[in-house]
A and B are shown apart, each in its own frame.
Chain A
Amino acid sequence: MTQYYGVERGTSRTRIILIITSCLVVALACGPALMSANILDHLIVLFIYIILAISWNALAGYGGLISVGQQAFFGIGAYAAIRLSYYGVPVYLALPLGGAAGAMAAGIASLFMLHLRGGEFAIGMWVLATLIQQLVSLDPLIQGSTGTSLLALNHFAPASRRADTYWLSLAVLLGLLGALFWLLRSRQGAAMQAIRDDEEAARSIGVAVAPTKRLAFVFAGLGAGMAGALWLAASITFQPGTYFGVQWTAYMIFMVLVGGIGTFEGPILGAILFFALETIFGATGVWYLIGLGAVSVGFALFAPRGIWGALEARFGWRLLPVGYRLVLGPGFARDKTASSIVQSDHHA
């Protein structure tokens, strides 16, 4: 008897979501022609938040690496962009290169930081961020804690600068989302999810844990670095204290925990939520920060899979699935006496 099976990697809904997403992207790409300067500025911030959220999620949600020092790469991204621009690199090239410097720094840091475990790693990353901040402050170009500006940006008219920064942010966001989606659907991605669920079990079935974690760490460094460079493009000024501040990581943790750690869609939702909260309550200062902390802890304790995880469990939502679904065809014997299996052409 011949059995047929197929493996599906998406649903009909996935296609619809991808079409909707494409339309949304086209609409967003036309943003500078359609939207006010104020809205554009806000959207740039939202894009940066999403980048921060997905990068911390890749690290903690898939690599199992809880870091409170991702501001190190955020700061390096901005600092490297300033340095490169100072050396004469065109500013809109220096910015993405600055982000890439974040990935490079993460690659180097991974050589020693990934030997640390759990809490040691988390705190070690914070120490590393503080150390890098001190080193950056020593650069005469930065003028200590006073900081400096990305002067090259001042050569552009504000409106065209805003549009360019907007497009750059959108492009980086889409690039990182696409890369992460592709990564999670690859063999490496399946290995990352296995590590997320049980590192020792993953090792026992042959997952090379260290390189897989390094991949997550470098991706997270890239994301944070890009976010830092984009933040610099949006705000022009650079003070080490601000860029290397731990609040960036706190925001990332909030967005990921609330949205849904270890899911693809959750952190995007978390970022949108965070953005909305900040827009509404951001002016209330310290209470706002305390509220964020309380909500993060609440989610960690009572809804560890976040809003998206809860929706997924409740309604079986799988908008952009990274997984595999086995579909059994006609003649497939559902018991263990089956002996031969023929791969069908049924592939999604």
Chain B
Amino acid sequence: MLVARALSKQFGSLTVIDRVDFRLADAEAVGIVGPNGAGKTTLLNLLSGAMQPSAGQISYRETDIKAQDAAARCRLGIGRSHQVPRPFIGMTVFENVLVAAQQGGQAQGADAYQRGVEALQACGMVEHANRRAETLGLLDRKRLELARALATKPDILLLDEIGGGLTDGEAEVLVRIIQRLRQGGIAIVWIEHIVHILVQVVDRLICMDAGRIIADGSPSAVLENQAVMSAYLGGGVV
């Protein structure tokens, strides 16, 4: 449903994404791993519309979306979270998800309330509903980031390191949340350093290094790949 061809992104003379081809099928879950600075977040930014590619094509459901900005893509059904959470700090947790339901999800009145509450429930944030987002700790900010993306009613969720810093128990909860979303038919692209969390959810794994995709396939095949091992300097990935 989401297809990118020969995608490149340069910052000045620095090439951060180098002719990447990427394809996501309906309801598919893909994990992206790779060392720091590999270009994972930048790829996500190009897919979500937060950044314009220097070259290449992006289409969604056979429609060219390169000219659409992030807001338009969100309304089409591409939701995302940010690696460093970006809550609306002057608004409450509930207002954060509500505005997402109203804008990205294009829901009105009680429908928007309903979707907001559901998104908070899915992420275990209901009890914080009336807190100002500014007062949340990092973990809750990450949950809010996920809840807000969910409230936009996405068909594709682009997730950027929402699992970092979680305890084992919390990670388990997160995995269950994402698994339930998958069952609901949402396609997922999930960037995560913690591979053992990732492999519980995804059916495909991509490894990036220096702006390129160096491996793409089933999680077990990718993790045994020699190039992937050396990209991580031989350090145990799993």
- Mark A residues whose CB is within 8 Å of B: 5, 7, 187, 190-191, 193-194, 196-198, 200-209, 262, 323-326, 328, 332, 334-336, 338, 341, 343
Q: Does B16 contact A (CB under 8 A)?
A: no
The reply to whether B71 and A324 form a contact with Cβ atoms under 8 Å apart is no
Cross-chain contact of B148 among A197, A205, A325, A343 (Cβ < 8 A): A205
Known: A336-B124, A336-B177. A325 touches B91 (CB 8 A): no
The reply to whether B121 and A336 form a contact with Cβ atoms under 8 Å apart is yes
The reply to whether B71 and A206 form a contact with Cβ atoms under 8 Å apart is yes
The reply to whether B124 and A194 form a contact with Cβ atoms under 8 Å apart is no
Chain B interface residue bracket vs A: 35 or more
Q: Does B82 contact A (CB under 8 A)?
A: yes
Give the residues in chain B near A336, CB-CB below 8 Å: 121-124, 126, 173, 177
The reply to whether A194 and B91 form a contact with Cβ atoms under 8 Å apart is yes
Q: List the B residue with the shortest CB-CB distance to A8.
A: B130
The reply to whether A206 and B92 form a contact with Cβ atoms under 8 Å apart is no
Main secondary structure of the interface of B (DSSP, over half): helix
CA distance A159 to B1 in the complex (A): 72
Give the residues in chain A near B89, CB-CB below 8 Å: 197-198
Give the residues in chain B near A191, CB-CB below 8 Å: 99, 102-103
A245 to chain B, nearest CB (A): 32
The reply to whether B90 and A205 form a contact with Cβ atoms under 8 Å apart is no
Task: Encode B117-155 as 1/0 by CB contact (under 8 A) with A.
Answer: 110011110110110000000000000000011011000
CA distance A324 to B91 in the complex (A): 9
The reply to whether A207 and B71 form a contact with Cβ atoms under 8 Å apart is yes
Q: List the B residue with the shortest CB-CB distance to A5.
A: B117
Give the residues in chain B near A341, CB-CB below 8 Å: 114, 117-118, 121
Q: Does B95 contact A (CB under 8 A)?
A: yes
Known: A201-B82, A205-B104. A343 touches B114 (CB 8 A): yes
Cross-chain contact of B95 among A323, A334, A343 (Cβ < 8 A): A323
CA distance A5 to B70 in the complex (A): 32
